[in-house]
Amino acid sequence: MSPAQETLLRRVEKVDGGLDSQDVATSLGVDHQAIVGAVKSLLALGDVISADQRSSKHWELTGEGCEIAEQGSHEARVVSSIPEEGMPQSQLMKLAFGKVGFSKAMSNKWIRLDKGHEGGPRIFKTVEHLEDLVRDKLLLVQKGQASQLEEKEKNELKKRKLLSEVTVKSYWITKGSCFSTTITKQETELTPEMIASGSWKEKKFKPYNFEALGVAPDCGHLHPLMKVRTQFRQIFLEMGFTEMPTNNFIESSFWNFDSLFQPQQHPARDQHDTFFLSDPAQAHEFPQDYLERVRKVHSEGGFGSQGYKYDWKIEEAQKNILRTHTTAVSARMLYKLAQQEKFTPVKYFSIDRVFRNETLDATHLAEFHQIEGVVADYGLTLGDLMGILHQFFNKLGITKLRFKPAYNPYTEPSMEVFSYHEGLKKWVEVGNSGMFRPEMLLPMGLPEGVTVIAWGLSLER
């Protein structure tokens, strides 16, 4: 404990109410800041003392003010320095208080100036006894009796830079609930030594500040969007869906469009919408008999379809692109399924990147993640598709769904999935779905009667 703390505690002990830190400093003849320091360190020990901050204002003389209080105002000193026979103006002006005192004494009519006097202008005093009011007022302030002066007077003196108003911050110190003149230093933390010796039982511990935040843990984080991907993956796995190999960003137009019965003049196949590749520009290997069936169903029809009746070109199908949807992979998987000796029902899913030729802005990305689910089995119905979508979205916490008829070149029927957004209070589109067209499935060689239901949504949405 420092001597200042000790003295302070003794003083507090003696008084009944409390005391002001400023008064303590004055009476001890020490700097006020030293007392403030002692107050603060005592406060940190807990409830030894309590202290309320208060501030008071009082008037003080400035340096010039002190000089005047001691020697009189400038104008009074001018008068007293002039002898009976007067004094040349130039000589008066050489005195330290000359200039200021001259003009004030003139306006008080304590002196007069004889400009025509031989040997230059000369000054004579006109009064014998004068009352130096300025000095009297300053003396009052110096004695601590500033309250006897009127505000107007104080402000005028302040304007003349003789007085200044000072704000003093001090503490009103009273005894705390655990007041004692002997204090022990509080420990900040428990140490192994305290535990070993048992000394913690006697120690006082500094209270924690529970308002503060903790230290951030030193750890890494997963990307939020990838965390959502993990959740979707989990949902599909829970529902018995097998993951498709979507690790092929570059795809031929054949698998991306033609195999899905998307005609070659379809706007989605425009340069504006799809990234085409210049290197490697073309795919060079296709299952030939399947390719022939695809050509035929587009250009002539078949499998119960009229077809699109246009001149289907292999050159268009060969063009390599950055896949525009993961359905290109679903097509490859369904074709592979059709090559099995015996059809087995499947449930597939994928979540991976797809690409669109967009200029980036707040609502458009050139690449984003598509989530896709596919079920192939005999006799699946539209009711099945809606049922499975319900279960899927239920797992996401989306329970209110409704379906809008839509158009999609490779599904028929096609349905847009809307869910009711409680926050926005309206129906918002959350995904797209449908049953793959027979013109897509039958050329692959899937048995008649097998239907394939599918849906897709965007991870970023």
Partner 1 sequence: MPTVSVKRDLLFHALGRTYTDEEFDELCFEFGLELDEITSEKDIISREQGDTKAEGASDVILYKIDVPANRYDLLCLEGLVRGLQVFKQKMEAPRYRRVSPASSEPQRLVITEETTAVRPHAVAAVLRNITFTQERYDSFIELQEKLHQNVCRKRTLVAIGTHDLDTISGPFTYTAKPPGDIRFKPLNQAKEYTAQELMSLYKTDSHLRHYLHIIEDEAVYPVIYDSNGIVLSMPPIINGDHSKISLNTKNVFIECTATDLTKAKIVLDMMVTMFCEYCEEPFTVEEAEVVYPDGRTCQYPVLYPLTITLHESTEHIAQLLTKMCLRSEVMSDGEQIEVEIPPTRSDVIHACDIMEDAAMAYGFNNIPRTTPRTYTIANQLPLNKLSELLRQDLAAAGFTEALTFALCSQEDIADKLLKNISETRACRISNPKTAEFQVARTTLLSGLLKTVAANRKMPLPLRLFEISDVVLKDESKDVGARNNRRLCAVYYNKSPGFEVIHGLMDRVMQLLEIKPGQGNGYHIQAADDSTFFPGRCAEIFACGKSIGRLGVLHPDVINRFELTMPCSALDIDIEHFL
Of 265-324, binders to partner 1 (CB under 8 A) are 265, 267, 271, 275-286, 301, 304-310, 320, 322
Tell me if 358 contacts partner 1 by CB under 8 A: yes
Q: Which is nearer to partner 1, 219 or 424 (CB)?
A: 219
Under a CB-based contact definition with an 8 Å cutoff, are residues 273 and 282 in contact?
no
CB of 256 to partner 1, least distance (A): 10
CA distance 133 to 435: 107
User: Of 240 and 397, which CB lies nearer to partner 1 in the complex structure?
Assistant: 240
The residue within the footprint of partner 1, chosen from 198, 405, 423, 449 (CB under 8 A), is: 405
Nearer to partner 1, 45 or 328 (CB): 328
What part of residues 429-458 is at the interface with partner 1 (CB under 8 A)? 435, 437-439, 453
Residue 420 as a binder of partner 1 (CB under 8 A): the answer is: no
Interface residue with partner 1 among 42, 82, 173, 346 (CB under 8 A) is 346
State which of positions 362-391 bind partner 1 (CB under 8 A). Answer: 366-367, 375, 377, 380-384, 386-388, 390-391
Stretch that binds partner 1, among 22-30, 118-126, 149-157, 404-412 (CB under 8 A): 404-412
Binders of partner 1 in range 93-122 (CB under 8 A): none
Q: Does 357 bind partner 1 (CB under 8 A)?
A: yes
Distance separating the N- and C-terminal Cα atoms of the chain: 65
Contacts with partner 1 in 191-250 (CB under 8 A)? 218-223, 225-226, 230, 233, 236-245, 247-250
Which CB, 59 or 410, lies closer to partner 1?
A: 410
Report whether 62 contacts 164 (CB < 8 A): yes
Contact in structure between 419 and 398 (CB atoms under 8 Å): yes
Tokens of 96: 């330290």
Answer for which of 99, 295, 296, 353 binds partner 1 (CB under 8 A) is: 353
CB of residue 341 to partner 1, shortest distance in Å: 18
Q: Cβ distance 295 to 302 under 8 Å?
A: no
Give the gyration radius of the chain's Cα atoms: 48
Nearer to partner 1, 19 or 388 (CB): 388
Provide the pairing of β-strand 49-61 with 163-175. antiparallel
Say if residue 11 is exposed, middle or buried (CB neighbours under 10 Å; 0-12, 13-18, 19+): middle
Under a CB-based contact definition with an 8 Å cutoff, are residues 171 and 53 in contact? yes
Instruction: Name the phi and psi angles at 391, rounded to 5.
Output: -65, -40
Can residue 340 be called a binding residue for partner 1 (CB under 8 A)? no
| DSSP code per residue over 150-175 | -HHHHHHHHHTTSEEEEEEEEEEEEE
The size of the interface with partner 1 (CB under 8 A), counted in residues, is: 90
Amino acid at the residue 144: G
The answer to whether the bond into 245 is cis (omega within 30° of 0) is: no
Stretch that binds partner 1, among 98-106, 152-160, 207-215, 340-348 (CB under 8 A): 340-348
Strand 450-458 with 367-378, pairing: antiparallel
* Nearer to partner 1 among residue 165 and residue 243 (C-beta): 243
Q: What is the residue whose two structure tokens read 């400023």?
A: 22
- Cβ atoms 345, 240 nearer than 8 A: no
421 near partner 1, rule: CB under 8 A: no
Q: How far is the C-alpha of 45 from the C-alpha of 66, rounded, in Å?
A: 43
Least spacing, CB of residue 224 vs partner 1, in Å: 9
- Rounded to the nearest whole angstrom, what is the least distance from the CB of residue 339 to partner 1 in the complex? 15
Neighbouring CB atoms inside 10 A of 155's CB total 13
- Shortest distance, position 296 Cβ to partner 1, whole Å: 14
Residues 23-42 close enough to bind partner 1 by CB under 8 A:
none
Q: Which is nearer to partner 1, 187 or 377 (CB)?
A: 377
Please report how close the Cβ of residue 259 comes to partner 1 at its closest, in angstroms. 13
Mention every residue, 6+ apart, whose C-beta is less than 8 A from residue 46.
176, 178, 186, 204, 207
DSSP state of 242: E
Q: Looking only at residues 60 through 89 of this chain, which bind partner 1 when binding is defined by CB under 8 A?
A: none
3-state secondary structure of 370: strand
Q: Supply the minimum distance, in Å, between the C-beta of residue 407 and partner 1.
A: 3
Shorter beta-carbon distance to partner 1: residue 107 or 306: 306
Least distance CB 291 / partner 1 (angstroms): 12
- Among the listed residues 290, 279, 266, 359, the one whose alpha carbon sits nearest the alpha carbon of residue 319: 279
